[in-house]
Amino acid sequence: MQKPAPSDETIFSKIINKEVPADIVYEDDLCLAFKDIMPAAPIHILIIPKKPIPRLCDATSEDKTLLGHLNLVANQVAEDAGIGEAFRLVVNNGADACQSVFHLHYHVIGGRNLQWPPG
């Protein structure tokens, strides 16, 4: 993994580099998953790629294997967290969609009945 340039650093890159602690529930060569510090549900896990991609719309065709991997990891962390098939997978893309950290991240949310529409 190539360390992000200082201009690319976010709280998530610092978690990847183990400069900031996190409650990590999954890690491999491509991504890392950890418990959200401000959970929206009893189970709220963030999955981040180790490659610094600011937003989903910044991903390229070269990232398609990585993006597929993130989805499979979402299934695994949901299963490991005990919510199996009952979870929501959310990606906020851009400030107008409430993305607050500009490092692509997936929210795995569950552990209670989720309402629709979400907001």
Query: Catalytic residues, which ones?
Result: 105
User: What's the rounded Cα separation, in Å, for the pair 97 and 51?
Assistant: 22
Largest separation between any pair of C-alpha atoms in the chain: 41
- Under DSSP, the state recorded for 58 is G
Cα 69 to Cα 7: distance, rounded to the nearest angstrom: 26
